[in-house]
Structure 1
């Protein structure tokens, strides 16, 4: 709610409305919620677990766009809109951990939204948040170093690094897993050096 800047009342109202079309689902780690090349028809609300969205570039290299965690709807909005006319999805959604949650039929959700002003307001905030996230992601990818991108990832997704694979993080940062290992070693060495400096200063005092 803080990320989306919506009230507790609005969140509760929207949740109650969508409960009428929600269906529970469970997937194991590594399973796809949405495949590229297949029309997207559902939104996936995560009660537990982590999902990752991305696509394959022209060279067949996997590019990660973002991660979804508990309390978030894993969805690729453009693919859902295109899916209304049967166009295949460009992005994929994959489970980075086991996931429990609820699926929502996109067309039914749209019909409910058209009938409810609170849902329209809520989804406007949701769309704006998604656009801001993508804009920041584009800036981080094009204008910052790998070290800065790693720092930004850790700030945006606190605690997530320990829950997912190093390969997934490297894909998000646009680097190789080998370089990711190097960044971690450098960060650990820097932290150890800083701790040693603090300890030395404490002993002198």
Structure 2
């Protein structure tokens, strides 16, 4: 709530409104929640677990865009908007850990948003936060070293490194898993931390 500048009251009101259309779901680690090439129609609210979003570039290489954790909606907004007209999603959502949460039909969510000002404000804040995150990520990827990108990842996602694969982090940082291992060893050596 602090990240997106939403009050406890607003969050409670939105949660109460969405409860009417929320359906519980569970997926195992490694399962897709949204596939690239299939129209996106669902918002996934995460109660527990970590979800990774990304896409496949022209060479077929997986590029990780971000991670979603507990209390967040794992959503690719542009794909949901495209899905309204049946266009296929560009991004995927995959479970990095077992996931428990709730799905919300995008069309029904939009209908509720149109009827309730509190939801309009809430979704605007989420969209603004998403734009800020995207802009920061573009800068970090384009203007910093791999060491700085790893430091930025650790700051943005505290504690996440221990919960997900090194391969997923490497994909997010735009480096190979082998180079990721080297960065970790260098970071441990610099901090004097024991190797695990």
Q: Which residue of 2 aligns with 1:179?
A: 179
Gaps of 5+ in 1: 196-205
How far apart in 2 are the matches of 1:52 and 1:61?
Answer: 15
Residue ranges of structure 2 left out of the alignment (5+ in a row): none
Runs of 4+ in 1 over 2 A off after TM superposition: none
Match of 1:121 in 2: 121
The residue aligned with 1:200 is none
> Following TM superposition, by how much is the alpha carbon of 1:79 offset from its aligned partner in structure 2, in angstroms?
0.2
Alpha-carbon offset, residue 140 of structure 1: 0.6
SS at match of 2:160: coil
Hey, what does 2:79 align to over in structure 1?
79
| Root-mean-square deviation (Å) | 1.0
TM-score (norm 2): 0.98
The CA distance in 2 between the partners of 1:156 and 1:149, in whole Å, is: 10
Q: Secondary structure at the match of 1:54?
A: strand
Q: Secondary structure at the match of 2:138?
A: helix
- Please name the residue that 1:143 is paired with: 143
CA distance in 2 between partners of 1:82 and 1:100 (Å): 26
SS in 1 for 2:52: strand
CA distance in 1, matches of 2:33, 2:116: 28
Structure with higher Rg: it is 1
Distance 1:142 1:61 in 2: 18
TM-superposition CA deviations, 1:17-62 (whole Å, max 9, x none): 0000000000000000000000000000000000000000001110
Q: 1:192 Cα shift?
A: 1.0
User: What secondary structure, in the 3-state scheme, does the structure 2 residue paired with 1:26 have?
Assistant: strand
Q: What residue number does 1:18 align with?
A: 18
Instruction: Give the deviation of 1:128 after TM superposition.
Output: 0.3
Corresponding residue number in structure 1 for 2:159? 159
Distance in 1 between the 2:103 and 2:129 partners? 21
Count of aligned pairs: 194
CA distance in 1, matches of 2:172, 2:126: 22
Q: Any idea what the Cα deviations from partners look like across 1:124-143, whole Å, max 9, x if unmatched?
A: 00000001111111111100
TM-score by length of 1: 0.94
Q: Structure 1: how far apart are the matches of 2:110 and 2:184?
A: 44
Q: Equivalent residue for 1:88?
A: 88
Q: CA shift at 1:102, angstroms?
A: 0.1
CA distance in 2, matches of 1:192, 1:45: 39
